[in-house]
Amino acid sequence: MTLGCWFEDVVGELQPILHRVASVIQDAAMLRGDIRARRLEEALAQIRRDIDEKQIEGLDPDAYLELEPTAVEATPPPVTLKQMETALLRSTALGRYFKPHPDLLNTHILTWNGEHTAVTFDAQVFDQHPDSVQLLSYGNPLLEQLLGAVPDPPACDDPCGVGLYRAGAPVPMSLFMRPADGKATEVSTLAGLVEASSPDTAWNEDTETAAERLFTDVRKQAIEHVGRVAEQQITGERLALKEEARQILVRTALLGAVESQKPTLFAEPLPYSFGPEPVEALRKKGAPYQGLWALLSGEELAADPTDPFFLSVESLPSRSLRRKQDQLRQQGMEVLRQYRLLSERSVAQEVDAAEDASVGVEKRWFFTGASVES
């Protein structure tokens, strides 16, 4: 079975279930605090039963696909495997290390560091011979070694050919550019790079200024995009910590309700206490409960006698109840610590995003006489 078939047969059937998990979490987030945890546990338990019993035939993959966001049109890769093969075989530095494979089409014997390895640039060949042939593509350490052995192309002292603009943190970026009609355009493919890198490609003050502006704009967009993604991640983590805070407060109140029923030497058991009052009373107990309440910004919480957690601890002895209370208190302290770290991360990212995208730019110009087939 090919990797593609395996993915379709195994993972494909699980996609509707995975979508249900996301939908359950989203729906539960909209419910009142007193029923959120119960609904979430019930829905996830049903999904677990569906998986265990392999009851996936009732799911509709087409309905799942309709809910997926519209795919962005794929852009062509900067270097195709065929172009990479042509470039390496014609390379004066590396071409001599490749010989045709005696038995397999579109396959080569690569002699490198004293070892002979069957390699291909054809994904279908690799799919048919995964145990005996390596796919020479990015991600393969062998390709990284080969490219690392190639010397840098001849550089120009003054702007000429193709300009390579590079910058590091906060978002490392490299951009090839060429002058065109008094402006600068990005070179995004290997074929375009070779076409644009002849010695007579003219640069002047206007095109250099245009290239700097283009690189700055692209880098600024990248910095802003990374910042948005990071902030979305922080928002998600913050919501998760708030949900954890809700559970800690409610469960602590439920443990108190159970504890109140335990007989003591001098008093009868107290009546169970449910509703919002026992959760609200935790505000007066200091850390971490005051801080956890502050995270929830006035949300209404209630101790529910039908909560699955209450039913699971109702018969526990006092010693076990106190141990669980201590565990919840420590968990609450950790929630507050993690929430504080998230706030610090958010402030640091705002500082990074404000950095001038034109700072720290390195520029080089070079040309190459190589040719590449499309």
Q: Parse the chain into domains and list their residue ranges.
A: 3-67, 81-148, 162-222+361-366, 229-353
CA distance 245 to 37: 12
Task: Give the lowest-confidence range in 41-45, 75-79, 317-321, 352-356.
Answer: 352-356
Following CA atoms 276, 281, 286, 288 in sequence, which dihedral angle do they give, to the nearest 10 degrees?
Answer: -20
Strand partners, 104: none
Compute how many other C-beta atoms are within 10 angstroms of the C-beta atom of residue 206: 12
The 3-state DSSP class for residue 85 equals helix
* Share of residues in the chain with pLDDT > 70 (%): 70
* Beta strand 98-100 pairing with 162-167: unpaired
Strand partners, 55: none
Confidence of residue 79 (pLDDT cuts 50, 70, 90): confident
Residue 374: the pLDDT is 42
The 3-state DSSP class for residue 171 equals coil
Residue 72: the pLDDT is 45
**Which tens digit of pLDDT belongs to each residue from 136-184?**
988 899 999 998 888 877 777 888 888 889 988 778 888 988 888 888 8
Which stretches of the chain are assigned E, i.e. beta strand? 98-100, 107-112, 115-120, 134-135, 162-167, 173-180, 183-187, 361-366
Sequence-ordered list of residues with C-beta below 8 angstroms from that of 273, at least 6 positions apart, any chain: 253, 256, 257, 260, 303
**Which tens digit of pLDDT belongs to each residue from 26-50?**
555 555 555 556 666 666 666 666 6
Confidence of residue 193 (pLDDT cuts 50, 70, 90): confident
**Which tens digit of pLDDT belongs to each residue from 232-285?**
888 888 888 999 999 999 999 999 888 887 665 445 544 557 889 989 889 888
In the predicted model, what is the mean pLDDT of residues 52-73?
A: 47
Nearest CA among 22, 15, 21 for reference residue 61: 15
Residue 65: the pLDDT is 44
Residue located via tokens 């002047």: 204
Q: Global pTM? A: 0.54
* Beta strand 173-180 pairing with 183-187: antiparallel
Nearest CA among 257, 281, 250 for reference residue 271: 257
pLDDT over 90 at 190, yes or no = no
